Each structure stands twice: as structure tokens, then as C-alpha cells.
Amino acid sequence: MVGHGIVFHEVSHTYRPAKGREVLALDQISLEIKRGEFFALLGPSGCGKSTLLYALGGFQPLEKGSITVAGKSVTGPGPDRGIVFQNFALFPWKTVLQNVLYGLERQGRGKKERLLQAQQYIDLVHLTGFEKSYPSQLSGGMKQRVAIARMLAYEPEILLMDEPFGALDAQTKTILHEELIAIVERKPKTVVFVTHDVREAVLLSDRVAVMSARPGRIKEIVDTSHLNSRQPGLTQTIEFNAAVDHLWGLIRDDAKTARAQ
Ligand SMILES: Nc1ncnc2c1ncn2[C@@H]1O[C@H](COP(=O)(O)OP(=O)(O)O)[C@@H](O)[C@H]1O
Ligand SMILES: [Mg+2]
């Protein structure tokens, strides 16, 4: 599969704001994500997870290094990569249906086809019946379902998710985990999932890259593909908790450093 996946090659990035001090956010990141893999980026707040994800999305120009997708250099956003942000980022003045239709409009399909496509993804995230609701009328979990449907609707091959469930309560989070697992099973995708939640990373992913506190580097990549996300009671098993403990050990020291900064 080499060459068909995502390759980060010696990616470094320094923020140079007009005011305030410069921040080295990413330091020489090299990483390969296989096609079809569910890959988590795990690390303490401020370690550069979002910067790395946005660079892959094409929203964040790179200072040094390169990113390729299926052998092609990333130079900007593209329909092969869909993104879900941490804080919903829905259009408040558009209904659920209109939000999901957004993005399809630029694809040049007929109106009827677009409506069918949008409805299919609204159904997939279990929002049937809420097509005419506005984001302000929805719970946090429902808003994030809309954001996921909007991303899925134009059928990108790669899903970029930046702490998508970070703002949700534990119960809603669990339900959306199950839904995401089912969605990815039905429509295979490459997923790059940013989180600071160790259990979430282990539950969802095939591999977890642990990033160190600023400047962001890859500390270790842990293979968790032997843990089947669909196995009932997985989070209660010894294997699951061993993986969680191992990852905690890796990020614990860095989490302390990040807090002290
Ligand atoms: N636009 C920006 N200008 C200056 N510094 C930034 C900017 N965006 C992020 N940073 C800094 O870069 C570092 C990495 O940020 P980020 O990628 O958002 O980390 P994470 O997503 O892991 O919390 C942080 O120290 C953050 O304060
Ligand atoms: Mg972030």
C-alpha cells in the first residue's frame, strides 16, 4: 500500500504571529498512515495535533517538509479530504438539510440527486425527522452528527476529525463512538482522528501515535489493531486496559510539562 496512503515527511512548523512570541508547533514529524487505517493522534493540549491535521487538510500551509496523499503533494483543501472540527462549525442560519447540502452544491450534481444524497447521510447519522431543524434547536451530540453527515455527504476518502466528541458528555460520546465504528465499517475510509482521550484512541483506532508536548514530535506509535472495536465489553478486557495503561505511561510526563508551560 506504500504510496497510496498519507505520508508526512519531516514536517516542521513555527507560528510567527505579528505580535507575541514565535511558537515551534511541529518539529520534524515523519509519519505514514495506510489507506483504510483508523489512525489516532494522541497528545496533551497544545502539542500540535490540530496544526498537523489542518496541514493535512490543506488549510495550514507548511513551513518545512511535505505531505503527500496517494503520492500527490497536498497544496490545499480537496474533495478527497473531509474535516470535522471540534466545535461543530455548522452554519447557524441553515437547517440540518441545508448544512448537509453545503459542499454538495459545488459538485455539480443535479438538485434531486443532491437531496437524495443529503438525506441518505442524514439517515445514516440517525437524524431522520430533523431535516428542517436549526443547529440552535439541537443538542451537542446532534450538532456533531450534522457535522459528520456534512463531511460524509460528499464522500471523501479520508476523514479528518479534530477532537469531534471532545465537548460531549460521556453517554453521548459512547453512542457516537458506536455510530462512527458502524459508519466506517459500512463505508471504508482512512480516518485521522485527533484526541487527548486515551480510551477513545484505543477504542477506535488501529494505531495510535503519541505526540510529545510542544514542540510536537511523534514519541511512539502503538499498534492497537488487535483490539476489535466491535467486540462487546471490549473496554472491560485486560488487553484493552493494558493498552490504555501503556499509552498513559507515555503521555503522563508530557501532560505535566504541558500544564507547567
Ligand atoms: N494561529 C496561531 N498562532 C500562534 N500560535 C498558534 C496558532 N495556532 C496554534 N498555535 C500554538 O501552536 C501550538 C500547537 O497548537 P495546536 O496545533 O492547536 O495544538 P493541539 O491541537 O494539540 O492542542 C500551541 O502552543 C498553540 O498555542
Ligand atoms: Mg487542537
Domain spans in the chain, listed from the N-terminal domain onward = 1-28+36-80+156-237, 90-155
Query: pTM of the entire structure?
Result: 0.92
Atom of ligand 1 nearest to the CA of 53: 17
- Angle in degrees, CA 54, 161, 116, rounded to 5: 110
- Superfamily of domain covering 1-28+36-80+156-237: P-loop containing nucleotide triphosphate hydrolases (3.40.50.300)
- Which residues make Cβ contacts (< 8 Å) with residue 176, sequence separation at least 6? 141, 144, 145, 164, 165, 168
Q: Which ligand is nearest to the CA of 164?
A: 2
Q: What is the mean pLDDT of residues 235-247?
A: 94
Residues contacting ligand 1 via CB (< 6 Å) = 15, 17, 23, 25, 43, 45-51, 214
Whether residue 74 has pLDDT greater than 50: yes
What SS3 state is found at 47? Answer: coil
pLDDT for res 169: 86
Nearest CA to ligand 1 atom 17: 48
- Give the Å distance between the CA of 172 and the centre of ligand 1: 28
**Can you tell me the mean pLDDT for 13-35?**
93
Task: State the average pLDDT over residues 70-99.
Answer: 91
Kindly identify the ligand whose nearest atom is closest to the C-alpha of 59. 1
Percentage of residues in the chain with pLDDT exceeding 90?
A: 66
Which protein residue's CA is at the shortest distance from atom 24 of ligand 1? 46
Q: pLDDT above 70 covers what percent of the chain? A: 95
**C-beta of residue 123 within 8 angstroms of C-beta of residue 59:** no
Q: Whose CA is nearest to atom 12 of ligand 1?
A: 25
Q: In what order do the strands lie in the sheet with 218-223?
A: 81-84, 158-162, 190-195, 38-42, 207-211, 218-223
Could you report the per-residue pLDDT of 122-167, keeping only the tens digit for each?
998 889 999 999 999 999 889 999 999 999 888 899 999 999 998 8
Task: Tell me the residue length of the chain.
Answer: 261
C-alpha to C-alpha distances, 171 to 60, 116, 227, nearest whole angstrom: 33, 31, 21
Taking 70 as the threshold, does the pLDDT of residue 70 lie above it?
yes
- Which ligand 1 atom is the nearest neighbour of the CA of 211? 22
For the chain, give the mean pLDDT. 90
Which one-letter DSSP state was computed for residue 18? S
Strand 207-211 versus strand 38-42 pairing type: parallel
Which ligand 1 atom sits nearest the alpha carbon of residue 48? 17
Q: What is the pLDDT of residue 206?
A: 96
Average pLDDT over residues 179-187: 89
- Identify the pLDDT of residue 256: 66
Q: Rounded CA gap, 252 and 35, in Å?
A: 30
> Ligand 1 pocket check: which of 41, 50, 86 to mutate, most ligand atoms within 8 Å of Cβ?
50
How far away, in angstroms, is 44 Cα from ligand 2 center?
9
Please report the pLDDT score of residue 107 as a whole number.
Answer: 76
Q: What is the pLDDT of residue 51?
A: 95
Task: For residues 143 and 146, give the distance between their C-alpha atoms in angstroms, rounded to a whole number.
Answer: 5
Per-residue model confidence (pLDDT) at position 154 = 86
pLDDT at 88 (0 to 100): 67
pLDDT of 2: 46
Instruction: Give per-residue pLDDT as tens, 214-238.
Output: 788 999 999 999 988 888 888 999 9
**Predicted local confidence at residue 132, as pLDDT:** 97
Cell of 89: 462549525
Written as one string, the DSSP assignment of 157-194 is: SEEEEESTTTTS-HHHHHHHHHHHHHHHHHS--EEEEE
